[in-house]
Amino acid sequence: MSTTRTSGQRTPRRNRRRPRWPAVLPFFLFLAVCFGIPAGTMAMGAFTVTDPATGASRYGLDNVTDSLSGAYATGLTGSVRLSLFSALLATVLGTLTGQAVVASRRPALRKAVVAACGVLANFSGAPLAFAFIATLGTTGVVTRMFDLQRTGFSLYSFTGLVLAYLYFMIPLMVVAVLPALDGVRTQWQEAAASCGATRGQFWRHIGIPVLMPSLLGGAVLMFGTSFASHATAAVMTGSSVPLITIQISNALNGNVLVGQENLALAMSLNMVVIALLVMSVQIPLQRRSARWLG
């Protein structure tokens, strides 16, 4: 029996396989340069303690311990509280807005809302802060028009920050939740109605449980967005509202005690840990949502 391969014979599959890892090599290179090196430097600095008397450096937990105590713990707690509150409001209001767009069945309205949300979701930072100061600040147009100071409202407070954050978080939530809302089939509602279920019963027993992974994933995304925001709060409130991002900025500007030069790196490490915890929750939720609504 001859073993010679003819010209028309197909090449064995294992010979046609090519390594695929070179295709992702640029991604891992980018990840190592843009995330790995800064993260490694930050972690090394966070655990490096400098003796103020001798200037000698050693490894220790002093910076991390200081970053989790006193005023810095208050800043971290304030950021978490602000992020939780604004994320909850943005999730509820963004979902209701997205459902209203889906239920309208008007393509022109949907395009207009999606386009507006795409723009407003990126309108944050110092420009947003100046816009709110001109509108709702102490001498803002709306403040003087309705005399809001009599009601005790102040833009330069926790409530004012929540209001400013919602301005770009609600559009972001609308963009994030629209694909999931589109995945809720009309046939499901018709089948539930044919079985005698009301609209409220459908959403309570079918719609919301199916959408829950997407809603939780969106809430986690909103939390991460609010937690990492800095410029809006820095321009609007300065240090009057304790937030960890503002404290990091102050520490990087040299507003620390001698021997605590790496305190800002320790606080940044705390933020990275919280961000990793957020990502560890969001990724499984996104996968489950895609499996249910895909």
Mean pLDDT value across residues 139-156: 87
Q: What is the per-residue pLDDT for 4?
A: 47
pLDDT at 112 over 70: yes
How confident is the model at residue 92, as a pLDDT? Answer: 95
- pTM to 2 decimals? 0.82
For residue 254, CA distances in Å to 46, 71, 248, 262 come to: 16, 16, 10, 10
User: 246-260, pLDDT tens digit by residue?
Assistant: 988 888 877 766 667
The amino acid sitting at 76 is L
Distance (Å, whole) CA 187 – CA 208: 16
Rounded CA-CA distance 205/87 in Å is: 24
Phi/psi of residue 126, each to 5°? -60, -40
CA dist 247 → 5, 53, 230 (Å): 72, 25, 10
